[in-house]
């Protein structure tokens, strides 16, 4: 009986980690239905381009 309990204890940690990883990955796939993430990506890309151009002007 004791060896069964040790076996369950040893398998509980990897099984719990796998479950947590699966739940976190599942949560990342969901995007907002209103498209705000696409708007945010576009804004951030525009900001990066602006910063690149400002840095290029400052280097000259």
pLDDT value of residue 34: 64
What pTM does this model have? Answer: 0.41
- The rounded radius of gyration (Å) of the Cα atoms in the chain is 24
pLDDT value of residue 31: 59
H-type alpha helices, the chain = 2-29, 36-59
Structure tokens at 40: 């945010």
Q: Which residues contact 31 (CB under 8 A, 6 or more apart)?
A: 37
pLDDT value of residue 32: 60
Model confidence over 1-60: pLDDT tens digits? Answer: 889 999 998 899 999 999 999 999 887 766 566 666 888 889 999 999 999 999 998 876
Rounded Cα gap, residues 36 and 17, in angstroms: 31
């Amino acid at each position: 009986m004791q060896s069964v309990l040790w076996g369950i204890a040893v398998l509980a940690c990897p099984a719990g980690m796998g479950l947590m990883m699966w739940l976190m990955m599942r949560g990342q796939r969901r995007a907002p239905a209103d498209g705000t993430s696409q708007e945010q990506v576009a804004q951030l890309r525009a900001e990066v381009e602006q910063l690149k151009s400002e840095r290029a002007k400052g280097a000259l």
